Amino acid sequence: MRSKPRLLNHIFRHRALRLILGIVLCTSLSLGSVAPGSAEPTLEETRALLQKGLNLAELDQEIARLSAQDTKLAGQIAETEQSIASNQEKVEKTREHAGKVLRAYYMGDRVNIWMLVLSARSMSDAISIYEYFNLLVQNDHRSLNAYADSYNSLVTSRELLQKERQELADVKASFLAQREKAVTIAQEIETVIATSPDGETLRQELDRFTVEWKDKGVPMFRKYLASISQAMQSLPELLTGKNASTYIKDIDFKTGSMVFEISDSDLTTFFRSKNPLFNNISFRFENDELFASGREDGVDVSIKGHYTIENKTVNKLQFHVDQLTYSGFILPETSNRSLEEEFDLGFTPSLFLKGISVTEVNMKNGILHLRIKQ
């Protein structure tokens, strides 16, 4: 159990909580008591209010993103429907011609070319007959292939339309769910403010905190994530030259595999050599999770995530964001997914060393362990 002095020291690090704590204490000293039905907010309640404000701000961004995605998908569906209409007209035309060709063969209207060649009066006549009917057959094949191509294109367009409509339905459902969640949080915030003796001050502090998050927190996360994404592309340097003797621990020539290991302190040093921004960031490996934490202008941020090996189209070490924190406040799950999609913190080995792939990954006791196979 954390002692009270340590708890207060931790609380006083955040400006919002310092201000509100001061308000609560001043109100208690001046009034002595609070009118019934207007209980003072505790520190936990104040912190919960700011957390709700952060969640609401991020939900607003997620709703805006989903709205833009909805508009984009609606435009794609309109284009696909137009393509289907065009393909249907093309299918009808090619179907009619292909039908005539097939009926001709079925009814025996196409004369046996070899009988005509053998009945020719001369070799030059036979060659002419062969060339003529060869052109006829080629034209028949083109007609049949044109029908097959236009039909397959129509089928593909319809499948794409079905996929886009399902994606649009999912986006709309997510949009409604997030909007409902945002409304609920907004109502909870208003209830806390309305029942607080210092509601207006709480509202002002909440607004200030939200603006600070948008003006300072969001750019800071984007800057750090972009830098980590870029630095990840330098990892192949650790597999070659003098670095290889340091970080490659085992080579099995029979299986064509090797083990790569690097400590979190070495990775931090390596990244700092690539970008001075990493002087504000440190990395830690523990329990199969990567922790990145940074401090800038009095603001603390942290990123927690894990790696998985994916082999969908190409072998890739994919990073998944599990938690983002800003000055001790946890961002909602939607923020994790949004930033994860925007910034690729993964690593595709074959893009740098042809033919290699990662077959094993774990992070324990400050060590990142990879088994790489060629």
Q: Last residue of a domain, which of 132, 165, 197?
A: 197
* CB 247, CB 256: distance < 8 Å: no
Q: What is the pLDDT of residue 327?
A: 86
Q: What is the CATH number of the domain that holds 106?
A: 1.10.287
Q: What is the pLDDT of residue 98?
A: 55
The structural domain count of the chain equals 2
Are residues 179 and 221 located together in one domain of the fold? no
Determine the 3-state secondary structure of 267 from DSSP. Answer: helix
Q: What is the pLDDT of residue 40?
A: 54
Q: What is the pLDDT of residue 72?
A: 85
Are residues 227 and 119 located together in one domain of the fold? no
Are residues 244 and 152 located together in one domain of the fold? no
In a domain, 15, yes or no: no
In a domain, 2, yes or no: no
Q: Last residue of a domain, which of 197, 226, 248?
A: 197
Q: What is the pLDDT of residue 25?
A: 33
Determine the 3-state secondary structure of 356 from DSSP. Answer: coil
Backbone region of residue 309 per phi and psi (left: phi > 0; alpha: psi in -120 to 50; beta: other values): beta
How far apart CA 354 and CA 315 sit, in angstroms, is 11
Are residues 265 and 319 located together in one domain of the fold? yes
In a domain, 278, yes or no: yes
Are residues 223 and 176 located together in one domain of the fold? no
In a domain, 9, yes or no: no
Would you write out the chain's pLDDT as a tens digit for each of its 374 residues?
444 333 333 333 444 444 443 433 333 333 333 344 445 556 676 677 888 888 888 888 888 888 888 888 888 888 888 877 777 776 666 666 555 555 555 555 444 544 544 555 556 655 554 555 555 556 666 666 666 677 677 777 778 888 888 888 888 888 888 888 888 888 888 888 888 888 888 888 888 888 888 888 888 888 889 998 888 888 888 877 888 888 888 888 878 888 999 999 999 999 999 899 899 899 999 999 999 998 888 888 999 999 999 998 889 989 999 999 998 888 888 888 888 888 888 888 888 778 889 999 999 999 999 998 87
In a domain, 219, yes or no: yes
User: Which range of residues forms the domain containing residue 155?
Assistant: 21-28+41-197
50 token code pair:
């700011």
- For residue 17, CA distances in Å to 21, 188, 206 come to 6, 19, 11
Are residues 229 and 344 located together in one domain of the fold? yes
Enumerate residues 6+ apart whose C-beta is below 8 A from 324: 221, 301, 302, 303, 304, 330, 331, 335, 336, 339
- State the sign of the Cα–Cα–Cα–Cα dihedral 21, 26, 32, 35: negative
User: Euclidean distance between the first and final Cα of the chain, in Å?
Assistant: 51
Q: What is the pLDDT of residue 12?
A: 36
Are residues 313 and 348 located together in one domain of the fold? yes
In a domain, 6, yes or no: no
0.85 surpassed by pTM: no
Are residues 326 and 369 located together in one domain of the fold? yes
Q: What is the pLDDT of residue 147?
A: 64
Are residues 123 and 257 located together in one domain of the fold? no
Q: What is the pLDDT of residue 320?
A: 92
